Structure formats: C-alpha cells, structure tokens
Amino acid sequence: MAAPVIAVVGGGQLARMMAPAAGELGVHLRVLVEAADSSAAQVVVDAPVGAASDEAAVRALIAPADGAPAAVLTFEHEHVPNALLTDLLEHGTPVRPGPEALVHAQDKIVMRRRLTELGVPCPRWAALPTDPADARTALTGFLAEVGGEAVVKTARGGYDGKGVRVVSLAAGGPEQVAEWIEAAATGGPELLVEEKVPFTRELAVLVARRPSGGAEGRGEVRTWPVVESIQRDGVCAEVIAPAPGLTDAEAERARDAAVRIAEGLGVTGVLAVEMFEVAGEDGPRVLVNELAMRPHNSGHWTIDGAVTSQFEQHLRAVLDLPLGDTAPTARWTVMANVLGSTLDELTDALPAVLAAYPDAKVNLYGKGVRPGRKLGHVNVSGDDLDEVRRRALAAAAVLRGEDPEGTPNEERA
C-alpha cells in the first residue's frame, strides 16, 4: 500500500521542519519550493521548483506526470491564490485548510469581520474606505475616538512587522500612510485601522483541528499550553512555554477563544492565534491580534517540549488522522530565535554551542545569512525558568557570533 502524499506549497523552514515528522509517520512529503537551494529543498527529496502563484506548478505538485497524486494539499504560508484553491477543491483535491478558512489569514479585514461575528475579543477596528479623501476623514475620526494614536495595517501581504504602522494625530495622522492610501485607491491592498492596545505582554495559542471526531461532529480539536512571545523590532525573538504567571482562568479564556476561531472558521490543520494580554478591572483579559493557518514560530518549542510537535500534528490533521497528545514534556521550554549572524556559516558555531550548552536543541534552517533573518532557533527545557531562558538566549547568541555572556536576560515586556 503506497504511502499517502502530502503536497505542501512553500519551501521555507516550516516545510523543512515537517520533513522529520513525515518520515516518522511514513508519509511522503512533496514540497513546491521557490528555488532548488531553498530551506525545504535541502532536506526534502521530492521538491519541484515553482511559484505559489503559478497555477501550472501547483497543479503539477498535486498530480505530477511521473508520480503519485497527492492525497491532500496544504501550505507553509498563506500567499496562494484563493481562486485556484477553490477550483482544486471543487474538482476533488482536498485542500486543508480550505480556501474559505484560509482567506481569514490572507485578509485582515475579512478576519476582523468574522471574529467580531463570532464574539471573539478583538481591538477596536475599522476598515478604511478606498477613496483617498474618505479614507483620510475616516482615519482622522478613528484616531480622535481612540485617543489620538492607532495602528494602520495593510489588509493583505504583511508579516513580521511589515505592512504595519503606528500613526498619531500629533504626527500627521493620514499623512503618515499617504502612499498606502493612494495605493489602496488604485488596486493596492485595502487598509484597516486598529486601536493601539496598551498590552502588558503578547501571548499565543496553538490549536489543531481535524475534520472528523469531536463533539457533535465539529472535528477533533487539541490545544497546546498558552505561551508568551517576546517581540523585537516586530519579529518574534523568544517564546516561553507555558506563559509564566498566567492564571488558570485567563489560560482557559485564551484557549476557548482559539477553539472558537478554529471551529467557527472551519480550520483544518494547525492554527496560531496571537493575542494581547491587557490589564482590566477584574484582572487580565486577552484580545486577538493575528491568525496564521499553518505551523508557526510560536510553536517551535513543541518540537522538543511537547509530546506531539506542531509539525506532526499538522500532518495528522490534514490527513484526518487522530490527533496527538499536546502535553508538555518539561516544566518550562524556551525557544530563542537566531535572527541574523556575524558568521558566514552558522554551522561553524556548532562545536562551541553544543559543547557549552549540551542541553540545547539547535535547529538551523540552511539559509544564507542576512541581517535580522530567521536563520534557526534553539530550544532549552528544564525546571528553572531563569536558567532555561539564560541558556537558550546564550546558545542563540553563540550562533549569531556574539558573546553569550553579553546576552541580556531582559525583563519580559
């Protein structure tokens, strides 16, 4: 009996990290990569080259002339034409997550509208009109309502801090995003504005859902512990699992919101729900910030810190297999991203980092070095959070070519 083929669009580190899980499960991974030397192509044997926007390449990924057809199509990023996915689904190819769900990770306005309908707590927001004059008037009015400062986002295409600007009435308001407003009027991404939330920290909930099983046929759903994510320059730098100091009630509210989203949007696979923790009169509360319908940076800790990693769980979910246990395997796990490096090759640092931190689990992505680029991550687990975090940060510093003793053990935001 031939192993099922999972077709994946996108050749970055997320597809690369699916490969070990696929090998363990005995399923065949076929990945559409952007270049023959991309991160995933270095470890996946079946890796045709093509663009996610190339309809012929995506169709050939699913049904190659010289290979078995794919049992399911999934993704490591959301930048895939929705019309193509709808056509594939209508002609019998399982697409997971499906286009009706995926659009909520592709378009922030669509996402905000649906989350509001589902009663999920979100920041105050508004979609800006595409007419430039109306957009300026609407943005000025919104700023006045929320205290003079807000966040403008492009509805499509933004990630890792891109497509996001803080604007204020004092600094000119609409003029701070004048080129975005003009672009939206001529076919560019639409814009939305959100209140600038006075959050105390950022949290994330990772949830997996498969179509079968679950109560009342809603699909089997599992969540991992709520984590704290620490951002630097708009990019995730660290993840602490579980989030320290989180009350049981707050963790339950965060998980309930994530499950409501997964079920309400009909997600199949892994869903990452990024949240703000906000102080309130009755204690902390959470507001949903962003969604990602795929394995996510906030879940890399699960590779070494949970019974079932997010990558194995995603493959299980899209094949509609029973989901795995999400319990943590250690009291604490800290993931530290390696963002840029002074080294030409990160592998040059392996002797030093593995000798100094034998408990560190190093995961390098095979990417060329570039300032601020996600080149890999380090996971460290243990019972003492301060020590676990210190060692994870220090190991990541060595891989960046820095002095680990100079790595600040910063207070969490």
Tokens read off for 360? 């560190």
Give residue 1's pLDDT: 52
CA–CA dist 287, 276 (Å, integer): 5
Residue positions forming the annotated binding site for ATP: 108, 153, 194-197, 202, 289-290
Distances (CA, A) of 403 to 164, 233, 235, 373: 32, 21, 22, 19
- Scored b (16 or more CB within 10 A) or e, 148-161 reads eebbbbbbbebeee
In the prediction, which pLDDT does 407 show?
Answer: 53
Q: Do the Cβ atoms of 208 and 267 come closer than 8 Å? A: no
Q: Map tokens 């997600």 to a residue.
A: 267
Entry field: residues in the chain: 413
Name residues whose C-beta falls within 8 Å of residue 10's C-beta, 6 or more positions apart in sequence. 31, 32, 33, 34, 40, 52, 75, 76, 77
DSSP string, 323-371: PPP--BSSSEEEEEEEE--SSS-GGGGHHHHHHH-TT-EEEE--PPP-T
The residue among 140, 205, 225 whose CA lies nearest residue 174 is 140
- Please state the pTM of the whole predicted model: 0.93
Q: What is the pLDDT, as a whole number, of residue 2?
A: 77
Q: How do the pLDDT tens digits run along the chain, 413 residues long?
A: 579 999 999 999 999 999 999 999 999 999 999 999 999 999 999 999 999 999 999 999 999 999 899 999 999 998 899 999 999 999 999 999 999 999 999 999 999 999 999 999 999 999 999 999 999 999 999 999 999 999 999 999 866 667 899 999 999 999 999 999 999 999 999 999 999 999 999 999 999 999 998 777 789 999 999 999 999 888 999 999 999 999 999 999 999 999 999 999 999 999 999 999 999 877 789 999 999 999 999 999 999 999 999 999 999 999 999 999 999 999 999 999 999 999 999 999 999 999 999 999 999 999 999 999 999 999 999 999 999 999 999 999 999 999 887 654 444 43
In whole angstroms, give the CA distance from residue 330 to residue 385: 11
Instruction: Walk across the sheet containing 72-75 and list its strands.
Output: 28-32, 5-9, 72-75
Residue 214: the pLDDT is 78
Amino acid at 104: H
Which helix H or strand E contains 40, and what residues bound it?
Answer: none
* Residue 65 in tokens: 């002339």
Q: What is the CA radius of gyration of the chain?
A: 21
Known binding-site positions: 108, 153, 194-197, 202, 289-290
pLDDT of residue 72: 98
- What is the DSSP secondary-structure string of 190-226? -EEEEE----SEEEEEEEEE-SS-SGGGS--EEEPPP
Task: Give the pLDDT confidence score for residue 200 in this predicted structure.
Answer: 95
d(CA 43, CA 45): 6
Our measurement of the distance from residue 112's CA atom to the centroid of its chain's CA atoms, rounded to an integer in Å, reads: 17
Contact 163, 114 (CB under 8 A): no
